[in-house]
Structure 1
Amino acid sequence: MATINPETVIAGSKFNNFHLLVFIWCFIAIASDGFDIAVYGLGLPQMMNDFDITPAAAGAIGSYAMMGMMAGTFVLGALTDVIGRKRILAICLVMIGLFNFLAGFAPNATVFVIFRFIASIGMGGLMPAVISLMAEYSPRKNRAMIVALMYCGYSIGTIGASLLGIYFLEYLSWRLFFWISIFTVLITPFFLKQFPESITFHVARGNKDKIADILNKATGTENYSARDHYEITDTDTAEKGVPFKKIFNERKTLSTIMFWIAVICCLMMIAGLGTWLPNIMQESGYGVSSAMIFTITLAIGQMTGSLAGGYMVDKIGHRNVLLTLLGTGAAAFILLSLTSNAFLLYILIAAAGACTAGSQNLINPYITMYYPPDVRGAGLSAAVGMGRIGSITGPLLIGWVLMTNMPAQLSFLGFAVPCLLAFCALLFVQEQHGAEVQKGRIRKAEEAIIS
């Protein structure tokens, strides 16, 4: 009887149909999340008229949704070890689809908020489950690119919603977009049948036959059976017993706070743009279809920033890439508030997408590398949890700005402020006190000396 570490086996496997199946389902899940978050911003101008609400009230509704996402992140995340990531993801898909579908029938803003809040709980729980499952079932050699490509599903969902808006929003009600969300409920039975549960979940419960089946599929062999002994050396086990205060130990306090500020600012920009971009462009004189094209441009920029930034990290390091993105983003937002040239607006919107979502996607692994293994989860969870403050306040603050008498396009200046704050915060991160960040710098210096 052999003793086998399933995580090591999967990490050393080569990408095959099993990995592709996991990728496709994770991509669909995250695309549905992007679609359902985007539809609120796309239908907002019509919704404000139907419900007779002010921009501030509309921003508050967007913020309530972000509160639901925060609740989902913590509540559903806490249940992961109890019922498994696969079931959590299925619950999220049903919640998102069913309650967004019901929100499309809401007779007033109050009912809409209730249904949208419940749907947002599912949205908050979906993203962490998808990312962890995709990372768990990706070969180590391709893991970074696979996860980055999967992230693009979010932008694809946004693009899909925007294309529907271009062709149908002028002729049909905003409610149609919420009714389409029922699609995620319809696909959930197929998901449950085809998608594997987390390997760590099976190991913890001794499901040896299922572990062997997964490993055989992942490796394309018949080398594993229920007679083998499976165990996982969990690098994060010590973390569960580590007090929260440890992320402030060893001169990490300043960097921890700076990470929080940076994540708050990035999520503030992402949530604010997702909620208000179509409305800002319509208020600036563009038609419904043109406003949708701006949203598509934003999503394309988000994908480009994530992939290009991920590639450049290996060349010049996380912080240098992040500072470049955030500095470029601040300049783009300032120019967006000043120019009226349509072509330049598209270029700047794409840059804004690349610099906001791209930055957030790169900050997460940067934070993970900064802390030692026993507190990495605590450090990242704390930063993302604090970052939800930005998700909640972003739509609300821009709604207040739009209630003033100044031109709607000047509201882009409001996004430049958090961009600059995040830039300044990262300048104060003390990499010399980091774990893998410092090791990576030493390793590159040694390689340079050898060459």
Structure 2
Amino acid sequence: MSSIANRLSNLPMGKFHWRLLIITMLGWTFDSMDTGIVAFVLAEMIGSWNLTTAQIGYISSIGLVGMASGAFLAGTMADYFGRKKLFAGTLLIYSIATGLCGIAWNYESLLVFRFLVGFGVGGQLPVAVTLVSEYSPAKHRGKMIVILESAWALGWLAASVIAYLVIPKYGWQIAFFIGAAPALMIFYLWRLVPESALYLVNKGKYDEAHALVAKIEQELGIPVGPAPTAAERSLKTQSISFIELWSAPYIKRTICLWILWFGMVYSYYGIFTWLPSLLVKSGHDLIRSFEFLLYMTLAQIPGYFVAAYLVDRLGRKPTLSGFLAACAGCAYMFGNAATSSDILLWGCLLSFFNLGAWGLLYTYTPEMYPTHARGTGVGSAAAFGRVGGILAPIVVGALFTGPDKFATIFAMFTAVLLIIALNVMVLGEETMNRSLEEINQETANK
């Protein structure tokens, strides 16, 4: 393990880590808010634009097409050009594109703008989680990433509040204009977000990486570690090709992650993108449906924190597979709920376990690849997962025309969630309390 990697892995948790976490959480919150706003807007636009169920499905899916493109390209570019540049650039893209959605003049223009929103959001998520993973101490990495992912609930909560208070009074366009606000923060974020020291080492910028880590150590009040040795400086810079993800050391991990991401994105976007419209079409009025979503969004927050507590104690595999199995059971009960109180109960539990599992997923994925391939590995898995998100709204739209549609749709999601829980148990590897470089050095030596 390089001296830089060793120093980062053994740092005590301190102000630097919390500052980095808060900054990236802001970006993550706005990602979620801009994604969530469209779910609420669609329920309103069904009437104002006379949209068909097929058109609603395509509006949802085009964002996922953008997210797949953004995740793959930004993740790969982050391994070549750095985490910081891609973090800032993707934030700017999705913020401006969300504002443009507010001036969409027809169905086709909205599709174009939603693609651009998806591109920015999909690009930022793997870059942000890679950056935070590479600065997280080994003993606290799971907690930090799950807390980062918890910002997704804050963004959906903000979208819920906007939908509840703004859309009924001022119209759906204002919601999109509010979603453009993150663009105003770009210069502030650029100044405070550091480049990844591990990325700098991989690019041969040893002095810059050493100076950066030394500054962190001084801030945390611990002795400054040694500069990289001549032997470390002589190591060749490593680059990544997509095919390496399928080479002998990583193929099992890549298969596990791609299945996991596909199922997670399929179930999440199939359920939550359609949920306001599903509730309206099942007999609940628009305001009541938004109220259900608000409570379900609040239930996500304790789900994240329970996952954050367990992930560095029980381990990645048992916590993630357990949350997925529990989520599957809640999806089945939600699909068969007969009363408003049952819908609220099982909907809140569904959100609790589903979003807790998302926090665990983002913890687990970057741990599977070495520094030179981490952005590409995370971005590729996320991009493949978005294929599931593209398909899910279309499948839900098709199933919504049949008998017992609500129960049938959620029986499907129950099966998907059980399959990916089994996938983690069979193909997954445990990575708790191990440094990123240690995990991948062991894999390379197999």
TM-score, with structure 2 as normaliser: 0.83
Is contact 1:155–1:299 with CA below 8 Å preserved after alignment? yes
Q: Distance in 1 between matches of 2:429 and 2:328?
A: 30
Q: Which AA in structure 2 matches 1:95? A: I
Cα deviation, residue 126, structure 1:
0.5
Q: 1:418 to 1:232 in 2, by over 3 A?
A: farther
Q: Which AA in structure 2 matches 1:269? A: S
State how 1:11-50 maps to structure 2 within 5 Å.
Answer: 11-50=9-48
Is contact 1:266–1:357 with CA below 8 Å preserved after alignment? no
Of 127-136 and 329-338, the range deviating more from structure 2 = 329-338
Is contact 1:26–1:130 with CA below 8 Å preserved after alignment? yes
* Paired position in structure 1 for 2:69: 71
Q: Which AA in structure 2 matches 1:59? A: G
Of 128-137 and 413-422, the range deviating more from structure 2 = 413-422
Q: Distance in 1 between matches of 2:257 and 2:67?
A: 20
1:105 aligns with 2:103: yes
Cα deviation, residue 281, structure 1:
1.8
Q: 1:229 to 1:257 in 2, by over 3 A?
A: closer
Q: 1:240 to 1:439 in 2, by over 3 A?
A: farther
Cα deviation, residue 22, structure 1:
0.8
Deviations 1:387-413 (A, max 9, x none): 2221111112112233x2657xx4353
Of 422-431 and 36-45, the range deviating more from structure 2 = 422-431
Is contact 1:202–1:211 with CA below 8 Å preserved after alignment? no
Identical counterparts, % of pairs: 23
* Paired position in structure 1 for 2:60: 62
Is contact 2:64–2:389 with CA below 8 Å preserved after alignment? yes
Deviations 1:249-287 (A, max 9, x none): 9xx76x865654443222111112231111122223333
Deviations 1:308-345 (A, max 9, x none): 24544566655544444334333322332333322222
Q: 1:35 to 1:248 in 2, by over 3 A?
A: same
Of 416-425 and 343-352, the range deviating more from structure 2 = 416-425
Q: 1:412 to 1:28 in 2, by over 3 A?
A: farther
Q: Distance in 1 between matches of 2:372 and 2:185?
A: 38
Q: Secondary structure at the match of 2:170?
A: coil
Q: Distance in 1 between matches of 2:432 and 2:8?
A: 28
Is contact 1:196–1:214 with CA below 8 Å preserved after alignment? no
* Paired position in structure 2 for 1:401: 399
Cα deviation, residue 162, structure 1:
0.3
Q: Which AA in structure 1 matches 2:422? A: L
Q: 1:140 to 1:427 in 2, by over 3 A?
A: closer
Q: Distance in 2 between matches of 1:20 and 1:222?
A: 17
* Paired position in structure 1 for 2:151: 153
**Size of the alignment, in residue pairs?**
430
1:206 aligns with 2:205: yes
* Paired position in structure 1 for 2:413: 418
Q: Distance in 1 between matches of 2:425 and 2:234?
A: 30
Of 349-358 and 370-379, the range deviating more from structure 2 = 370-379
Q: Distance in 1 between matches of 2:432 and 2:16?
A: 36
Deviations 1:75-133 (A, max 9, x none): 12222133321110111111011011011100101001111101211111110111111
* Paired position in structure 1 for 2:350: 352
Cα deviation, residue 351, structure 1:
1.6
Q: Which AA in structure 1 matches 2:215? A: N
Structure 1, unaligned runs of 5 or more: 441-451
Q: 1:98 to 1:54 in 2, by over 3 A?
A: same
Q: Secondary structure at the match of 1:286?
A: coil
TM-score, with structure 1 as normaliser: 0.82
Q: 1:268 to 1:194 in 2, by over 3 A?
A: same
Cα deviation, residue 291, structure 1:
1.9
Q: Which AA in structure 2 matches 1:212? A: A
Q: Which AA in structure 2 matches 1:85? A: R
Q: Distance in 1 between matches of 2:82 and 2:255?
A: 32
Is contact 1:13–1:139 with CA below 8 Å preserved after alignment? yes
Is contact 1:63–1:395 with CA below 8 Å preserved after alignment? yes
Q: Secondary structure at the match of 2:415?
A: helix
Is contact 1:46–1:174 with CA below 8 Å preserved after alignment? yes
* Paired position in structure 2 for 1:444: none
Q: 1:184 aligns with which of 159, 182, 185?
A: 182
Deviations 1:161-185 (A, max 9, x none): 1012212221121111110122111
Q: Distance in 1 between matches of 2:56 and 2:342?
A: 29
* Paired position in structure 1 for 2:444: none
Q: 1:378 to 1:297 in 2, by over 3 A?
A: same
State how 1:318-329 maps to structure 2 within 5 Å.
Answer: 318-329=316-327
Q: Distance in 2 between matches of 1:413 and 1:313?
A: 33
Q: Which AA in structure 2 matches 1:297? A: Y
Q: Which AA in structure 2 matches 1:94? A: L
Q: Distance in 1 between matches of 2:430 and 2:360?
A: 15
* Paired position in structure 2 for 1:246: 247
Q: Distance in 2 between matches of 1:177 and 1:311?
A: 34
Is contact 2:99–2:177 with CA below 8 Å preserved after alignment? yes
Q: Distance in 1 between matches of 2:433 and 2:215?
A: 35
Cα deviation, residue 156, structure 1:
0.5
- What RMSD in Å do the two structures reach over aligned CA positions? 3.7
Is contact 1:299–1:350 with CA below 8 Å preserved after alignment? yes
* Paired position in structure 1 for 2:271: 273
Q: 1:322 to 1:194 in 2, by over 3 A?
A: closer
Q: Distance in 2 between matches of 1:126 and 1:168?
A: 27
Q: Distance in 1 between matches of 2:141 and 2:92?
A: 28
Q: Which AA in structure 1 matches 2:211? A: A
Q: Distance in 1 between matches of 2:95 and 2:242?
A: 36
Q: 1:366 to 1:296 in 2, by over 3 A?
A: same
Q: Distance in 2 between matches of 1:311 and 1:294?
A: 27
